[in-house]
Each structure stands twice: as structure tokens, then as C-alpha cells.
Amino acid sequence: MFFRFTSELRKYYKLNRSEKNLKILMVYPYFDHPSSHTLCKGLVERGCKLTIFCCPHKNEKNLEGVEIIHTPYLFKLRPYFPISIPKVLSFEDFDILHLHEDYQLNTFYCSFLSRTRTSIPMILTEHYDGYTIENIGWRLLRSLTNTFIGKNVVRGCDRYIAQTTKSREYLINQGAEPKFIDILYHSVDTRLFTPRRSNALNKYLSDDEIKFLFVGRLEKSKGIHCLVHAMKYVLQSGLNAKLFIIGKGSEERSLKTLISSLNLTDSIIFLGNIPYESLPEFYNACDALILPSLIDPSPSVILEAMACGKPIIGSKVGGIEEVLVDRETGYLFNPNNNKELSLLLRKFVKSPEIIQQFGKNSRKRIEEVYALDKISEKHIKIYEKVLAKNPKRK
């Protein structure tokens, strides 16, 4: 009798999802990152109704079909110390509570209230992979929140989404059962990021130069100093190439000083911050994206460039080495190894045919694995799986 009843529940959720329209409460520290916007856009396109609960942020984006509710916050440590949970949140209005990150107090509050007052199933997406945080103060704070908040949140969830295998290992260390963990990377909108002709960099070129591109924050963890030194080796070989840098950060001044001391001012060009919607023009104008990161859990830029049909040269860290297929969609190198990186850059300069083939492979891999429609559908299947197994957790 019990098994027949469970079977009927599964059929109901499978057959009626399109009519029922899943109502999902998404809890973020901030709703500021393009990868979050892209995922929510894909879920809405598949009939889901989303409410975002987060701290306010200047890069927050309003999306059609998405309601945003802000948590009150305290000083600069906003996501860590929200003051309270607004009474407007009625958890029973939702089918799924989808938490992002395990260490934030707003995540903890929602998790705690859901467990004590409702029976809504909870899913946690873990973005962190256990990497060492540079700043000692933030590292200590993160260690405390991991212990006293993160483990509590993790152990209260019904299912988990890890963005990389290292994130999966972190979840297991926090108390998650391996059999309930799915690995899903970021998605990319292949309609926005698609191969096309672009002259966005033409005004900076005087010859038929190979164009390398870096996109990201200008911080030590991104390893850009290594890339600058590698470019010096490339140009000393008499090869024609330029590096374009998109992004801002605390290392910009020291990078410009280094570039000037190496006489690379004409060959390395800073473009500053570029609006997200304009990035496809710059990806399409370059020949290859370079990611020399020392730490990088799950960079979206690698997917965006690959979707535009570009090869990648990336360091063997975090999510880069899980997404980039070495010698198929680009090359991997050991982090902070200037000479190894310079050899790979020279390969691209000397063999444009490799760039073309790797670029085709990149676009194909995106369409097969990381396209928004595929990742969104996998999320919905996870939601259905949780609901079918236990539609009202008690």
C-alpha cells in the first residue's frame, strides 16, 4: 500500500509540474552574479516561479518573473549579519527552499525556520570548494561560520548541488551524505554568448597580431602577474601578440607598474570594466581567453568564452581544470609557472589552426554540457526528485 502511494505521488509531480508551476524560494548572500541571473532566467523560462531572498547589492538585476525580497542588514558584513527575517516570507507558499552557500546567517535563519515551522524540502548549492582565503581576518570568520553555521545548514538539507568535485568533497566534510549530492556547474546562455564577427578590439591593433584576453577581478588570486611575465617571453621571441585585460581591482596599479618596467605598455592594454551584455563582443574579438588563476572555484568567464567559440589557456586549479579539456578545448598549465604559460601562448601564436579547432571544440562542449537549457532542466529534475520522494518533509 505504501509503495503504491509513493508511486502515485511520483507520477503526480512528474505529470503535473507544468500545470503546477514550481514555486521556489532562492536564498542568496547577494543576487549580484551573472551566473545566478542566468540560472534564474532559465528556471523561469521553464515555468518556475521564483522569489529571491538576499541582501541588496549594486549589481543586483531585476528579471521578469522573479520577485526580490531584501533582508535587513548590519554594516558592511551584510550577508553574515542580517538583523532579522522579514515577516513577508511565508515558507508554506513555496514548493522548494533552494539555499546558496552554507555559511551565511540569512541562509541559516531560513533553514532553521523552515525546519521548525514548515515541512518545505531544502536544497543547498555549494559554491565554495575549501580553498584558502587570502585575508586572515576573513579566513578566521569563514572558519567560524563554517563550523557553527555551515555544518548546521548542510545537515538540515534534503539534497545538495556541488559546482565542482572539490565542492562535493567540502560538502561531505560538512556532513552531507555523498549519495544525495549532484554535481552541476554554472550554465551559460548560448543565445547571448555565441560565435560571431566582432571588431571590438580593432582600434588597438596595428598589425596582424594574435589577441589574448583576460577577464576578471584584478586581484593576486587571479595570477595576472604570471601572465604579464609570460607575455614578456612571448614578445622577446619576436612573435606578434597583444594582451587585453578586462576588469578592475586592487592589483591594477602594481600591474601597470610591472608592465611599464618590462616595456610592455604598448602590448598589454587595460580596458577597465565592461558591461556584461557587451562581453560577447570582446570574447568574439579575441583569439583566446587566458585564466592564470591561483584560486578559482567556478569561473563563469571560461564558459562564456567557450560559448563564443574560443579556446582557453587556464591553470590547473578549481573549476578551471574541471571544465577545460586539455588539448581539446585549450591547454592547462601549472599555476604561477611563467615559462610554461609562455610556451602555450607561443603555440597559439605560431599555430592559428589550433586556435580554430580548439574553438570549435569549445562551442560543441558548451552545447552538449553547459548550455542554460540543459543545466536548468537538470535543476528541475533534482527538484522533482526531492518532491517525489518527500513532497512535504516531516
User: Of 93-97, 110-114, 184-188, 293-297, which gets the smallest average pLDDT?
Assistant: 110-114
Strands 49-55 and 288-291 turn out to be unpaired
Residues 6+ apart with CB under 8 A from 115: 122, 156
Q: List, in order of start, the domains of the chain with CATH numbers.
A: 2-187+372-389 (3.40.50.2000), 202-369 (3.40.50.2000)
Paired strand residues for 266: none
**Phi, psi angles (nearest 5°) of residue 233:** -65, -40
pLDDT, residue 109, reads 80
CA dihedral 262, 265, 269, 270 (to 10 degrees): 80
Q: How far apart are CA 103 and CA 141, in angstroms?
A: 10
Tell me which of 107 and 222 has the higher pLDDT. Answer: 222
Q: Which three cell numbers stand for residue 157?
A: 538539507
Contact 256, 188 (CB under 8 A): no
The pTM of this model reads 0.88
pLDDT tens track for 37-70: 999 999 999 999 999 998 888 889 999 999 998 8
The predicted model gives 102-111 an average pLDDT of: 82
pLDDT, residue 14, reads 45
Q: How far apart are CA 282 and CA 247, in angstroms?
A: 12
pLDDT above 70: residue 17: no
Paired strand residues for 52: 26, 68
* Mean pLDDT, rounded, of the chain: 88
